[in-house]
Structure 1
Amino acid sequence: MTPDAAPADPSPAESPQRPATAPRRRPTPAQIRRWRKYLADERAEGAVYRELAARREGEERQILLELAQAELRHEMHWHRMLGEHAHRRTRPSAKRVVLRSLARHFGSVFVLALAQRAEGASPYAEDSDATPQMAADELVHEEVVRGLAVRGRNRLSGNFRAAVFGANDGLVSNLALVMGMGATGASSSLVLFTGFAGLLAGALSMGAGEYVSVRSQRELLSASKPTQATLAAAPNLDLDANELVLVYKARGMSQEAAEHRAAERMGYFSCDCDPSLSLNPEKADEDGMEHETIGSALGASAASFCFFASGAIVPILPYLLGLSGTPAVIVATVLVGLALLCTGGVVGLLSGASPAKRAFRQLGIGLGAAACTYGLGLLFGTTAL
């Protein structure tokens, strides 16, 4: 064979053995539909996080953008799985559409609570077409969103608690009062007067009670919070004979940590040889105490008064519109039932639980209480008036 001649093709026996690669199985129509839905949902979730990030700053903004980037990785997985079928777009689920719209226009803790539920309901753990890393990612994402939502929940927890309790108390107590009076056969004017009296009395009682409750709670926490007295007394104390160590031991510190803190307070050293025995300077003398976010007394009182009144007026709306007797009772019950479903759903949403379950629980409790007074009204009737 001349140098310029091309080498002959090797015979089959002489051919090098190449590892056989199994041809990729074509996806079924059901798989294509499911993957397209996953792809659309991942795109929508990434858009939700970007919409939320646009309304925030600093650390929260960065966290949300990183979540959007993680959703992009999941999006690319389904894009690769679909291959030539990825060009056809599918609408995301209705929940994702609503969530993105809310994120674009509101960007509140309600949206984060909904996003938390969406991450927690991921089907990837049961779907073999999703990777284990993707299923793990969704679990982590739920906790990240939960952490972001906690910040908003803490800001709402004080006055929001008073508002929710006030609205529910107004709905339930005044519905029970109106239904009880309506069942006796009393005139519409008497039922209406009774409803207004219940509204005013309840709202004043709730407002005053909430003010006293929150004020007392804040005073109790203030009395329990460590003072800065140790800083003033420390320079004049003897390291070998003083009660400064007892102060820190009374706050729950170990003997070693208490002695370290006492020496630090008295100026025997200016740096921490063992930082684990000292508190962060920004939290000095708090000793790890965590106080519940309870809101202001006036704010809680005003919220309680207003929301009780807003809830208590619902049962008397039919009487204000001229209805009377059984039709008025039925309309009042329906209106209050819808309001209870709304407040229960909001509470469930903010708590990260099932809104539907909390809504129907609220409805059952409220209508059950009203049914008791309605039964008493039927039992006594107008003859007892």
Structure 2
Amino acid sequence: MEPTKEQVRRWRRYLAEERHEADTYRALARKRTGEEREILEQLVVAEGRHESYWLELLGEKAVPEPRVPLGSRILSTLALTFGSIFVLAMMQRTEQRSSYDIDEDVPAQMAADEHVHGEVVRALAAKGRAQLSGLFRAAVFGMNDGLVSNLALILGVAAAGADPSMVILAGVSGLLAGAMSMAAGEFISVKSQRELLEASAPDPEAELVLPQLDVNVNELALVYRARGLSAEEAQEKADEQLASLQDARNQQQTQSQFGADYDGFEEVGSAVGAAASSFCFFAMGALVPLLPFLFGLTGMVGVVMAAIVVSAVLFFTGSIVGILSGQPPLWRGIRQLLIGLAAAGVTYLLGLAFGTTGV
């Protein structure tokens, strides 16, 4: 039966997207080595199977070559610009497309493939997200706080009818005070979190006494029970550990296994790194609403321009967070924009009230 125009349109879009995904995995594989490269190359092969299916359905209607949707091209450009973690996050979102699940022209096996591909990419991106999460959290919070708090401060002062020089002074003061406060807060927060986690980490000195334990009567099983294993599982693991101690060649492996239940501090990040990231990004964010006034704008014109440039940056940073988290960037950008403007708007209204009453 001859396909409808709507079917052809969808199939051509699917074909373009499958080719685009294969090209993206191929480009990413060239930058990787070892196991990750092999996994990405297998995904290229899988996307090739999907491409062949749509080519067979379309036949001569596959010509001319369909164009990749604009949204996908924009996301790819952003991802390739900012690095592989952005590429993987974008591909995770792409693989989880819902249209395959509800399209009767898509075989169930192919729809299942896309979900599995999404989980493969999620796993590949997990390590990068863990390494990035500590500094990224500080950067996002710092930028967002700088944008919103200094915009609110500047709008409040400007709405109260203050002289332009006072608006600039307030903005610069807010930038410096906020950046130093954010950096100090991040340092103390991350340092405290690491210290709490270190208190729960296995004691390396405890590993050194394992060879002296009595293999018949010992409390090693209690360690594993305290870590959440059942009594039987804990005893079995303790027996395995002690048995391996009989071979001196396995001692290093045993010591590493003793602390294997602890994952480390990778997702927490460095206290110094978080503080520096927070300081820099807060300062950059706080500078944005100040720019119109530094360039000589005053009054309502300066207020409107400050709101416009801050809105653009809020939307952009929200979109970036959406890409990294594998979520729709458009709605994440809109959410961050609305929350930021709402907070600044309240301060602006308070400034108008104080200015009007002469307080």
With structure 1 as the length reference, what TM-score do the two structures score?
0.84
Structure 1: distance between partners of 2:58 and 2:343: 55
Q: Is the 8 A contact 1:114 1:349 kept in 2?
A: yes
SS in 2 for 1:42: helix
SS in 1 for 2:258: coil
In terms of mean alpha carbon deviation, does 361-370 or 28-37 score higher? 28-37
1:68 paired with 2:22, answer: no
Structure 2: distance between partners of 1:348 and 1:360: 10
| Residue in 1 that maps onto 2:230 | 254
SS in 2 for 1:313: helix
In terms of mean alpha carbon deviation, does 375-384 or 93-102 score higher? 93-102
| Residue in 1 that maps onto 2:332 | 358
Structure 2: distance between partners of 1:161 and 1:196: 24
Give 1:166's aligned amino acid: G
Percent identity of equivalent pairs: 53
1:334 to 287, 303, 308: 308
Give 1:188's aligned amino acid: P
1:40 paired with 2:13, answer: no
Give 1:362's aligned amino acid: Q
1:376 to 344, 347, 350: 350
SS in 2 for 1:352: coil
Q: Where in structure 2 are the equivalents of 1:13-162 lying within 5 Å?
A: 25-98=1-74, 101=77, 107-162=83-138
Structure 2: distance between partners of 1:236 and 1:143: 44
Q: Deviations over 1:277-300 (max 9, x none)?
A: xxx858522352345511111111
Of the two, which has the highest radius of gyration? Answer: 1
| Residue in 2 that maps onto 1:12 | none
Does the C-alpha gap of structure 1 residues 73 and 366 become closer, same or farther in structure 2, counting only changes over 3 Å?
same
| Residue in 2 that maps onto 1:288 | 261
| Residue in 2 that maps onto 1:221 | 197
| Residue in 2 that maps onto 1:305 | 279
1:191 paired with 2:191, answer: no
Structure 1: distance between partners of 2:205 and 2:287: 52
SS in 2 for 1:128: coil
Q: Over aligned residue pairs, what C-alpha RMSD do you find? A: 2.4
Structure 2: distance between partners of 1:375 and 1:365: 16
Structure 1: distance between partners of 2:278 and 2:82: 24
Q: Is the 8 A contact 1:113 1:149 kept in 2?
A: yes
Structure 2: distance between partners of 1:359 and 1:257: 47
In terms of mean alpha carbon deviation, does 150-159 or 300-309 score higher? 150-159
Deviation of the 1:262 alpha carbon: 4.4
Deviation of the 1:256 alpha carbon: 3.0
Deviation of the 1:258 alpha carbon: 3.5
Q: Deviations over 1:312-345 (max 9, x none)?
A: 0111111101111111111111111111111111
Structure 1: distance between partners of 2:83 and 2:292: 36
Structure 2: distance between partners of 1:181 and 1:269: 71
Give 1:284's aligned amino acid: Q
Structure 2: distance between partners of 1:297 and 1:356: 32
| Residue in 2 that maps onto 1:274 | none
Structure 1: distance between partners of 2:80 and 2:354: 55
Structure 2: distance between partners of 1:309 and 1:268: 55
Q: Deviations over 1:3-26 (max 9, x none)?
A: xxxxxxxxxxxxxxxxxxxxxx23
| Residue in 1 that maps onto 2:250 | none
Q: Is the 8 A contact 2:11 2:58 kept in 1?
A: yes
Structure 2: distance between partners of 1:103 and 1:179: 34
Structure 2: distance between partners of 1:318 and 1:217: 39
Deviation of the 1:36 alpha carbon: 2.7
Deviation of the 1:150 alpha carbon: 1.9
With structure 2 as the length reference, what TM-score do the two structures score?
0.89
SS in 2 for 1:73: helix
SS in 1 for 2:94: helix
1:346 paired with 2:320, answer: yes
Q: Deviations over 1:13-71 (max 9, x none)?
A: xxxxxxxxxxxx23344433332332222222211111111111111111111111111
Does the C-alpha gap of structure 1 residues 241 and 80 become closer, same or farther in structure 2, counting only changes over 3 Å?
closer
Give 1:172's aligned amino acid: V
Q: Is the 8 A contact 2:76 2:90 kept in 1?
A: no
Structure 2: distance between partners of 1:93 and 1:343: 23
Unmatched 5+ stretches in structure 1: 1-24, 272-279
Does the C-alpha gap of structure 1 residues 238 and 309 become closer, same or farther in structure 2, counting only changes over 3 Å?
same
Unmatched 5+ stretches in structure 2: 248-252
| Residue in 2 that maps onto 1:321 | 295
| Residue in 2 that maps onto 1:233 | 209
Does the C-alpha gap of structure 1 residues 248 and 230 become closer, same or farther in structure 2, counting only changes over 3 Å?
farther
Q: Is the 8 A contact 2:179 2:278 kept in 1?
A: yes
